[in-house]
Chain A
Amino acid sequence: MEKKLLEIKDLYAGVAESGKEIIKGLNLTINAGEVHALMGPNGAGKSTLAYLLAGKADYAATSGNVTFAGQNLLSLKPDERANAGLFLSMQYPVAIPGVSTNNFLKHAVNAKRKYMNLPELDAAEFLKLLRASAQELGVTTEMLKRELNVGFSGGEKKRMEMLQMQLLQPKLAILDETDSGLDIDALRIVAEGVNKLHTSENSLLIITHHLDLLNLIKPDAVHIYYDGHIVQSGGKELAEKLEQSGYKSFVEA
């Protein structure tokens, strides 16, 4: 039987301060173990959706419901959403000067363990866990010693997002254009990260412009997102059609 992980019903949302509406009547269900791709033109509100789900205070829902792992997602604080298993790989990860990457990751992992009533990892235990994951994703020890995202290249930042995803093992990972601006090697690392996380329990929502990543990860569903809602859903063939004829063909259809 299919287990609903994320269910978005008739969602209307926008900018909290100005009230500008960006998401207009969105419906989307992601079951446990599924990989969904969300494709849409610039300005369609894809990042707004990602941020809204993660709980960024700049955005607010005006109506509709979002259920995540049986909970009313919109009533939770951002850290509660994260610990409940929602991960957002950000398009532009922010730099945190003064905080070493190592230390930040340890805090994040232990915050989750604390939430799950597991004993926190000590420095040695954490390092063991970290080294194994870091190596697979091509994150060097030197990079882990640096301040989080300070002076990281675009590729390094994305790799760091994948490392965090790997360490935190979320139920649902939302990748907000994680593949943008990556060379082919970096793209493979992202795809491997996605494929490793993807189990019969864990799901992914991939926000992307490109077919390249989808060729490497085989999505269960592709949604064409335009002007704040989904205009068409289907399989990977939608992404291929999009590649050939652009968004126009979907909007006019």
Chain B
Amino acid sequence: MTTQNELLKELETQKYKYGFITDIEADVAPRGLNEDIIRLISSKKNEPQWLLEWRLKAYRHWLTMNEPTWAKLKFEPINYQNLFYYAAPKQKVKPKSLDEVDATLLETYNKLGIPLKEQEALAGVVAVDAVFDSVSVATTYRAQLAEKGIIFCSISEAIKEHPELVQKYLGSVVPYSDNFYACLNSAVFTDGSFVYIPKGVHCPMELSTYFRINAQNTGQFERTLIVAEDESYVSYLEGCTAPQRDENQLHAAIVEIVVLNNAEVKYSTVQNWYPGDEYGNGGVYNFVTKRAACRGVNAKISWTQVETGSAITWKYPSCILQGDNSVGEFYSVALTHHYQQADTGTKMIHIGKNTRSKIISKGISAGNSNQTYRGLVDVNKSATGARNYSQCDSLLIGSNCGSHTVPYICNRNKSAVLEHEATTSKISDEQLFYCQQRGIKEEDAVGLIVNGFCKEVMQKLPMEFAIEATKLINISLEGSVG
């Protein structure tokens, strides 16, 4: 028992590896939120009138809303008037290449293991649209992509250069009134990514964005919009790390994806925002709305996520399966320790005929953390022949953590076939002893068992991301990393 306790202690006392703060002067709007702040954001970004009006409409609606309380999460109320809603790194001219990017900024990315320069040299494997705080600072490979008609840029640029596309699709999957956090985001979002894949185009590289939260008390409100036209394909990667902070940081992002006839979008996330310290102080509050609409026939969306960060996670990447034969998939690994809380899952809304969905959720809880899988499978009357398979597995490490599974199933069509499986297991002393008896150190044994537990999901990640994600899981478990 003593060795198990030692391990738990290590798990509990390990430090966040990426806790450092970049010293860059931020161009910050005054604290608080009102219509003037929204006008300021909009004017700073030279936005068209329709967008300002949309933001204001969202803001006025938000004022009538309350925070959702149904999630199994406990936290002190957030004072939304105490936050900054706009911060941009000070730069006189927008850089044309990485050489012109602030050296401190590049250094930050290097510490995170995202050497942009190296990536640029990596023969077009990954294109990076790096978002620092709220403003996009560097976009690589755009020219190459442009040749194929692919648009990959910050959403601010898209608003200026492709207003018709943005106006057509912005808020079409997640309406501004959708939920409290999405509504707030619609009012104050500052930047994010925009991806447009034209008809018949197979995007030749993985598109990737790294988000970081930096300036103190800066709310992060990214907005990502991906549109995949008929017969197109794209794989998009989102990776996040944030520097260590004592105060809680709010993050309320939106990702909207539109998938048309015979198109496919793969969206992968590795998230390791600061989870708070071993006593539950600090950490990122992550309230995200991610949703994809399969509007065309045979459209396919696949969400894959590996999450080890944030003090609080409230996140349910969803699939609206409108087109006949469309497919939605959700593969998730969530690892919580210390006092982290995660209420996460997915929603599969079957509308079209013969729509199929698959949910594989793996939750790992350690320390004093608490995790809830909350999922909805909703089969409409019209969804004849719909199929769903759900599998929710939980793995507990130690005796002070919690794991809960809350699957909602709503079926209005007799022909639908729905399956749900759930397991809960604990890494036993017997298993650890067996591994140790074969010469494997206890912490490596935990890593081995945990990696085996989430293998099914890891395999869904693009290769280079899978390696990063496995590293992240091991870092989160090891405790030897200070």
Residue of B nearest to A56 (CB): B433
Do B434 and A98 touch (CB < 8 A)? no
Q: Does A103 contact B (CB under 8 A)?
A: yes
| Residues from chain A with Cβ under 8 Å of B442 in the complex | 77, 79
Q: 20 other contacts beyond A77-B436, A98-B451, A104-B438, with CB at 8 A cut-off? A: A16-B1, A17-B1, A54-B437, A57-B1, A57-B3, A58-B1, A77-B442, A78-B436, A79-B435, A79-B440, A79-B442, A82-B436, A82-B438, A88-B437, A97-B425, A98-B449, A99-B448, A100-B452, A103-B452, A111-B444
Residues 421 to 474 of chain B near chain A (Cβ within 8 Å): 425, 428-431, 433-442, 444, 448-449, 451-453, 455
Q: When chains A and B are docked, how far (Å) is the Cα of A81 from the Cα of B439?
A: 8
Q: Does B2 contact A (CB under 8 A)?
A: yes
Residue of B nearest to A16 (CB): B1
Do A94 and B3 touch (CB < 8 A)? no
Residue of A nearest to B455 (CB): A98
Do A98 and B452 touch (CB < 8 A)? yes
Residue of B nearest to A100 (CB): B452
Q: When chains A and B are docked, how far (Å) is the Cα of A112 from the Cα of B436?
A: 11
Q: Does A93 contact B (CB under 8 A)?
A: yes
Residue of A nearest to B440 (CB): A111
Interface residues of A: mostly helix, strand, loop or mixed? mixed
| Residues from chain A with Cβ under 8 Å of B452 in the complex | 96-100, 103, 147
Q: Does B4 contact A (CB under 8 A)?
A: yes
Q: When chains A and B are docked, how far (Å) is the Cα of A111 from the Cα of B3?
A: 19
Query: Of A57, A87, A103, A164, which one neighbours B2 at CB under 8 angstroms?
Result: A57
| Residues from chain A with Cβ under 8 Å of B4 in the complex | 57
Do A79 and B425 touch (CB < 8 A)? no
Residue of B nearest to A88 (CB): B437
Write the nearest CB–CB distance from A81 to chain B, whole angstroms: 8
Query: Of B1, B2, B431, B444, which one neighbours A107 at CB under 8 angstroms?
Result: B444
| Residues from chain B with Cβ under 8 Å of A30 in the complex | none
Do B439 and A79 touch (CB < 8 A)? yes
For chain A, the count of residues having a C-beta within 8 Å of the partner chain is 33
A76-120 contact mask (Cβ, 8 Å, vs B): 1 or 0:
011101110001101001101111100110011001100100000
Using a CB–CB cutoff of 8 Å, the interface residues on chain B facing chain A are: 1-4, 425, 428-431, 433-442, 444, 448-449, 451-453, 455
Most B CB atoms within 10 A — which of A77, A88, A93, A94?
A: A94
| Residues from chain B with Cβ under 8 Å of A204 in the complex | none
Q: When chains A and B are docked, how far (Å) is the Cα of A242 from the Cα of B151?
A: 84
Write the nearest CB–CB distance from A51 to chain B, whole angstroms: 8
Do A96 and B436 touch (CB < 8 A)? no
Query: Of A54, A98, A103, A168, which one neighbours B453 at CB under 8 angstroms?
Result: A98
Q: When chains A and B are docked, how far (Å) is the Cα of A87 from the Cα of B442?
A: 17
Q: Does A55 contact B (CB under 8 A)?
A: yes
Q: When chains A and B are docked, how far (Å) is the Cα of A83 from the Cα of B437?
A: 8
Do A104 and B448 touch (CB < 8 A)? yes
Q: When chains A and B are docked, how far (Å) is the Cα of A148 from the Cα of B435?
A: 11
Query: Of B2, B431, B448, which one neighbours A94 at CB under 8 angstroms?
Result: B431
Known: A57-B1, A77-B3. A108 touches B438 (CB 8 A): yes
Do B439 and A108 touch (CB < 8 A)? yes
What are 22 of the A-B contact pairs (CB < 8 Å)? A16-B1, A57-B1, A57-B2, A58-B1, A78-B3, A78-B433, A78-B436, A79-B435, A79-B436, A79-B440, A79-B441, A94-B431, A98-B451, A98-B453, A99-B451, A100-B452, A103-B448, A104-B438, A111-B439, A111-B440, A111-B441, A147-B452
Q: When chains A and B are docked, how far (Å) is the Cα of A58 from the Cα of B433?
A: 10
Write the nearest CB–CB distance from B250 to chain A, whole angstroms: 35
| Residues from chain B with Cβ under 8 Å of A17 in the complex | 1
Residue of A nearest to B452 (CB): A98
Do B439 and A168 touch (CB < 8 A)? yes
Do B431 and A96 touch (CB < 8 A)? yes
